[in-house]
């Protein structure tokens, strides 16, 4: 009687250790970050790191639930779309694997979406060529133009920062994915044993009561 | 095989929950004192099995072991799978609490069916037992895939499209689970035959 569960225990332990070398796969995750060139990049993965290829990504306005745009991921699980023009800044990016796996990513759009960087590049190159005196004179003589310049300058910095920070945004987004840890697994097994204990307790009480009668 | 939250429509969720409640009630009623440890051990096995990822084929799939639970436990596979899925939803974020009933039905109903189809063969021993165990492991996954496709298609897309996606992705798992169930059952039958007989009442 005592020996009975031993083999299964071994089996459970075997299974338990074999997971260490294998990936986990059971749900789909989507991450999104701004690219810095007026587009938003999304990456879809199954938990375990396998890219979710050719799955549908839908962008929804969070406040109304209206579908803004949708498309399919490429072979790396990536899908890129231009920053949608909406009145509300909150959007929901939903990935649907079509096989029962579904997940979403909440995204807050920035106040002013950066202009395409390519059109701005010539201006950045010209500014250092200007002599210091010329710029200060310009500042004195034409104030409205400087204001415009500084606005554009801020926009440029924002765009460049977004571009440089895109990999960091990606890592941050990915780090929110929580794959099962040892504690999770042991905790679950502990719960199962505890439930078995509770069941055994009630069954034995029933048995005792029947014996008393 | 876990269906995520927000995929299924409310009627499908309700049907799944109802089947789970009935199955669990019958399973608990049939569960007696001597079987509690067997059931909890297989629950633990099922709980960790889904962490084993099968990197073959087009999809992203993992072991389920529904066939093994079905053929050993019979009706008790309902409470076992329910508890394991609840803990998986809680700890691993697989599936979800709202879809718990539907997910339990998708995995436990085929397991129970395998119990009725393959159990008599399993009792006979020899080659027949091996074939029965393989069949239980194989068909539990096949039927689960079809049931899952049905659940999704009723709520969302066309049946054939989903069924093809899900069934094709699970073909490697069907074969692997068939082999695992076959070896586990013949091993237990050799060393610890009482373990298998426990579920036969």
ipTM: 0.78
- Put simply, the answer to whether B191 touches A7 (Cβ < 8 Å) is yes
Query: Which pair of structure tokens corresponds to residue B97?
Result: 């609490």
Query: Which pair of structure tokens corresponds to residue B40?
Result: 């909890």
From the candidates B27, B33, B43, B44, which should be mutated to test the interface with A, based on the most A CB atoms within 10 A?
B44
Backbone φ and ψ for A71, nearest 5 degrees, come out as -170, -175
B116 touches chain A (CB under 8 A): no
- Put simply, the answer to whether A100 touches B166 (Cβ < 8 Å) is yes
Bridge partners for A67 per DSSP: A60
d(CA B138, CA B175): 6
B60 touches chain A (CB under 8 A): yes
- Spatial contact of B62 and A179, defined as CB atoms under 8 Å apart: no
Average pLDDT (B23-35) is 88
In a domain, A53, yes or no: yes
CB interface of A with B, residues 1-60, below 8 Å: 3-5, 7-9, 11-12, 15-16, 18-19, 22-28, 46, 48, 50, 52
Backbone φ and ψ for B69, nearest 5 degrees, come out as -60, -45
- Closest CA of chain A from B186, distance in Å: 12
Q: What is the CATH number of the domain that holds B36?
A: 1.10.1760.20
Buried b / exposed e over B46-73, threshold 16 CB at 10 Å, is bbbbbbbbbeeeebbbbbbbbbbbbbbb
Q: What is the CATH number of the domain that holds A71?
A: 2.60.40.10
In a domain, A9, yes or no: no
B195 touches chain A (CB under 8 A): yes
Question: Does residue B3 sit in helix, strand or coil?
Answer: coil
Query: Which pair of structure tokens corresponds to residue A135?
Result: 């710029």
Q: How confident is the model at residue B199 (pLDDT cuts 50, 70, 90)?
A: very low
In a domain, B196, yes or no: no
In a domain, B197, yes or no: no
Query: What is the per-residue pLDDT across A45-84, written as a single tens digit (0 to 9) for each?
Result: 876 667 777 888 888 887 787 888 888 888 888 888 888 8
> Considering only CB atoms, which chain B residues are within 8 Å of A188?
44, 47-48, 87-88, 90-91
> Considering only CB atoms, which chain A residues are within 8 Å of B151?
100
> Do the strands A102-108 and A90-96 form a parallel or antiparallel pair, or are they unpaired?
antiparallel
d(CA B166, CA B146): 8
Indicate the number of domains in chain B. 1
In a domain, A202, yes or no: no
In a domain, A30, yes or no: yes
Report the pLDDT value the prediction gives residue B178, as an integer from 0 to 100. Answer: 92
d(CA B164, CA A186): 36
Q: Residue A21, Cβ neighbours under 10 Å: how many? A: 8
d(CA A189, CA A131): 72
| Between residues A178 and A80, the one the model is more confident about | A80
B40 touches chain A (CB under 8 A): yes
DSSP code at position A107: E
Indicate the number of domains in chain A. 1
B43 touches chain A (CB under 8 A): yes
> Considering only CB atoms, which chain A residues are within 8 Å of B88?
188
In a domain, B167, yes or no: yes
d(CA B55, CA A19): 12
- Residue A208, CA atoms < 13 Å, CB-side half-sphere: 6
- Put simply, the answer to whether B42 touches A8 (Cβ < 8 Å) is yes
> Considering only CB atoms, which chain A residues are within 8 Å of B162?
98-100
d(CA A34, CA A45): 18
DSSP code at position B63: -
Whether B20 shows a pLDDT value over 90: the answer reads yes
In a domain, B148, yes or no: yes
Report the pLDDT value the prediction gives residue A44, as an integer from 0 to 100. Answer: 84
Question: Does residue A59 sit in helix, strand or coil?
Answer: strand
Domain that holds residue A40: 25-116+166-182
Taking alpha carbons only, the member of B133, B115, B144, B124 closest to residue B30 is B115
Average pLDDT (A193-207) is 87
Question: Does residue A67 sit in helix, strand or coil?
Answer: strand
Question: Does residue B70 sit in helix, strand or coil?
Answer: helix
- Put simply, the answer to whether B44 touches A189 (Cβ < 8 Å) is yes
Whether B169 shows a pLDDT value over 90: the answer reads no
Domain that holds residue B139: 10-190
Bridge partners for A96 per DSSP: A56, A102
Whether A22 shows a pLDDT value over 60: the answer reads no
In a domain, B40, yes or no: yes
């Amino acid at each position: 009687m005592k020996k009975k569960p031993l083999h299964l225990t071994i089996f459970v332990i075997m299974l338990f250790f074999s997971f260490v070398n294998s990936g986990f796969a059971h749900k789909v995750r989507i991450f999104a970050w701004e690219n810095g060139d007026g587009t938003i990049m999304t990456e879809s993965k199954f938990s375990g790191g396998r890219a979710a290829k050719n799955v549908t990504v839908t962008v929804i306005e969070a406040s109304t639930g209206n579908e803004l745009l949708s498309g399919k991921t490429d072979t790396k699980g990536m899908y890129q779309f231009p920053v949608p023009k909406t009145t509300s800044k909150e959007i929901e990016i939903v990935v649907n694997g079509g096989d029962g796996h579904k997940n979403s990513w909440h995204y807050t759009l920035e106040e002013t979406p950066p202009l395409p960087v390519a059109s701005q590049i010539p201006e950045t190159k010209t500014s250092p060529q200007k002599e210091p005196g010329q710029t200060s004179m310009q500042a004195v003589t034409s104030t409205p133009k400087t204001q415009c310049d500084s606005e554009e300058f801020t926009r440029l910095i924002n765009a460049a920062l977004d571009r440089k920070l895109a990999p960091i945004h990606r890592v941050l987004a990915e780090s929110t994915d929580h794959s099962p840890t040892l504690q999770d697994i042991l905790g679950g097994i502990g719960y199962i044993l505890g439930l078995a204990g509770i069941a055994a307790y009630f069954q034995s009480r029933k048995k005792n009561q029947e014996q008393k009668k | 095989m876990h269906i995520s939250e927000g995929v299924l429509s409310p009627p499908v969720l309700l049907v799944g929950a109802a089947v789970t409640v009935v199955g669990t009630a019958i399973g608990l009623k049939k569960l007696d004192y001597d079987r509690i440890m067997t059931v909890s051990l297989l629950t633990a096995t099922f709980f960790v099995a889904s962490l084993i990822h099968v990197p073959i084929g087009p999809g992203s799939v993992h072991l389920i072991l529904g066939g093994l639970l079905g053929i050993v436990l019979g009706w008790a596979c309902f409470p076992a799978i329910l508890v394991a899925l609840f803990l998986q939803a809680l700890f691993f974020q697989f599936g979800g609490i709202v879809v718990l009933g539907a997910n339990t039905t998708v995995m436990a109903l085929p397991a129970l069916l395998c119990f009725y189809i393959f159990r008599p063969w399993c009792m006979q021993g020899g080659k027949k037992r091996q074939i029965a165990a393989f069949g239980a492991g194989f068909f539990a996954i096949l039927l689960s895939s079809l049931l899952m496709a049905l659940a999704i298609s009723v709520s969302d897309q066309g049946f054939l499209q989903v069924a093809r996606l899900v069934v094709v992705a699970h073909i490697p798992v069907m074969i692997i689970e068939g082999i695992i169930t076959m070896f586990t059952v013949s091993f237990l039958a050799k060393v610890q035959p009482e373990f298998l007989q426990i579920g036969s009442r």
